[in-house]
Amino acid sequence: MTVAFRPRPSVVRRDSGLYAYERALARRGLTPIAGVDEAGRGACAGPLVVASVVLRRQIDGLGDSKLLSAAVRERLYAQITRTAQVGVVVIPPGEIDAKGLHKCNVSGMRRAVAALPCDPEYILTDGFPVPGLPAPSLAVWKGDQVAACVAAASIVAKVTRDRLMVALHESHPQYGFADHKGYVTAQHRLALETHGPCSHHRFSFVTVAREMGENEMGAGVA
């Protein structure tokens, strides 16, 4: 049986800088390199957004999107989308409920890579391995903090999703989506208790399912 060779970067110190993985892979001739990350995994409302980015030039200030201010994310998003190659996939709540979050996440990463306008020679994913990618890959723990292309993907995914949640707020202002972006907060819990879930909530998530059950019980008693 022939086993496909899956080249990996040389040993990379996690304190070697944000471009260390890309440099190590480039020394082995493995370019272009795609980074993949998602936004919205822990939310109970709104879509899961997965992005893949191939950087064509160094961008200063990249980092984990969750640790950056909204203004900095928007500035970096503009730079990334202007100078890099980007693939984005938006997975709606209904698909997450039907297929499961992790399955959607893995599928979304494959689809985001497929949406790139180029064919990467190597792929870095954030956190966990993704089978079925079209090139050799490496799962990097906290990749959005140590690999530039993954950090760029995290920013694209986060900004894309935040914009979608702000747009949802326009049609569903009672939930406060523009503030909490669909994550579980005291404000969001109170809105669920008061109004019940809407079609943009993930009914398979325990927070939403609990409110659904309590609302149905209340309606039955009435």
- Residues 85-114: tens digit of each pLDDT: 999 999 999 999 999 999 999 999 999 999
What is the structure's pLDDT at 5?
42
At residue 34 the predicted structure's pLDDT band, cuts being 50, 70 and 90, is: very high
Specify whether the CB–CB gap between 50 and 112 falls below 8 A: yes
Model pTM above 0.75: yes
pLDDT at 210: 86
Q: Report the pLDDT value the prediction gives residue 16, as an integer from 0 to 100.
A: 61
196 backbone dihedrals φ, ψ, rounded to 5°: 75, 170
Give the whole-number percent of the chain exceeding pLDDT 70: 88
Supply 9's token pair. 């970067």
- Res 14 pLDDT > 80: no
Q: Which of 180, 177, 159 is nearest to 169 (CA)?
A: 177
For 74, half-sphere exposure in the C-beta direction (CA atoms, 13 angstrom radius) is 5
Q: Is pLDDT of 6 > 60?
A: no
Helix (H, G, I), strand (E, B) or coil at 139: strand
Task: Measure Cα distances from 1 to 4, 29, 65, 125, 134 in Å.
Answer: 10, 27, 43, 28, 21
- pLDDT tops 60 at residue 80: yes
Gap between the Cα atoms of 120 and 124, Å rounded = 10
pLDDT at 12 over 90: no
How far apart, in whole angstroms, are the C-alpha atoms of residue 139 and residue 125? 5
pLDDT the model gives residue 17: 87
pLDDT at 221: 29
The residues with which 50 forms a beta bridge, in sequence order, are 38, 89
Q: Which of 53-67, 85-99, 129-143, 204-218 has the lowest mean pLDDT?
A: 204-218
DSSP letter assigned to residue 11? P
End-to-end CA distance of the chain, in Å?
Answer: 67
Mean of pLDDT over the chain:
90
